[in-house]
Amino acid sequence: MRKCVVIYNPASGRDRQKKSVQPLYDILRKYDYDTEIVYTTKKNDASKIMENLEKVDLVISAGGDGTLHEVVEGNLKRKEKLVIANLPMGTTNDVGTMYGLTGNTLKNLEKLLKGVEKKVDVCYINNNPFVYVACLGDYIDMAYNTPRKLKKRLGKIAYIIYGLKQLKNKIHSYNIKYTIDGVTYEGNYSFFFITNTSRVAGLNDVYYDVKLDDNMFEVAFCKVKTKAEMIKFFILLNNMDAKDVPEITYYRTNNIEIEFDKKPKVSWCVDGEEYPITTNKFVFNVSQDTTMLLPKENVVKLFEEQGDK
């Protein structure tokens, strides 16, 4: 039999969604996998577990987008990379939804095990990998500062409640210099999104033509000065391709350097988790060092190369 390890984050998602793990064992055995489930207990556990695993045929990240981030991060530290699958069990599950997975864990597992292996792009911020998004700006901290107990009880509604409390705060903007392909520009922006995804913060089709294997990522800088402009911006973002929103300066690239005139007071949000800031300069690039087992549904839409692997 083949060997599978499930890295399971029991703190992800809502309490009422947690069920016995026995059906996971049963399904994996049906697909000829001898399975071990390893539980995380604290932040960065998944990364360390992944980094130190012996060679296995498949590693399943069972948790939220943050758990997947840690599993990919740990895999990239390995000399011999392993194949990863994402079994979404978090609150928002942006990556899993983009891949074509739903809220049914057992059906998702079946979809994955019938799926295809694909090389996927992984982005980097100052040499630290991220799977799908790095963003900065006011209110962005909702992703990592919304209380975990509230998320476990209310799910996505918890983010809305936390966001409404933040509306009293003013919107800040930042003077930056940025360099793409050797050309330097200047500007003043409020929000910064570096992404490799078609879905962010529960918004589907943020970009209509994103590809996960083109060795490129999307850059969106947004200018909004008031809360009314911000609300209008997110309404437009929900209804049209991000690169067509008037408030957005858009690029598709494989490298960008951003220098703020002074260190931002807020942190980057990287794959839903806080990335503390220690500098005012950030270098973004991309590589293709990770293989994912994915359901077949969205492969044609999300990948340029249609063959397995």
CA gap 17, 181 in Å, rounded: 46
Domain ranges of the chain: 2-114, 128-287
Please report the beta strands in the chain, taking only residues with DSSP state E, as ranges in sequence order: 2-8, 33-39, 58-63, 84-88, 116-125, 128-130, 133-136, 174-180, 183-189, 191-195, 217-222, 248-253, 255-260, 268-270, 273-275, 281-294
Q: C-alpha 64: how far from its chain's center?
A: 9
One digit per residue, the tens of pLDDT, for the chain of length 309 reads: 999 999 999 987 654 445 678 999 999 999 999 999 999 999 999 999 999 999 999 999 999 999 999 999 999 999 999 999 999 998 778 999 999 999 899 999 999 999 999 999 999 999 999 999 999 988 776 666 555 665 556 555 554 555 555 556 678 899 999 999 899 999 999 999 999 999 887 778 888 899 999 999 999 999 988 878 877 887 887 788 888 888 899 999 999 999 999 998 889 999 988 898 889 999 999 998 899 999 998 898 999 876 555
Architecture in CATH of 128-287: Sandwich (2.60)
Closest by CA position to 60, among listed 137, 134, 115: 115
The tokens for 25 are 């064992």
**What is the residue-wise DSSP string for 35-104?**
EEEEE--STTHHHHHHHHPPP-SEEEEEE-HHHHHHHHHHHHTSSS---EEEEE-SSS-HHHHHHT--S-
Is the domain 2-114 a CATH 3.30.70.980 member?
A: no
Give the pTM: 0.87
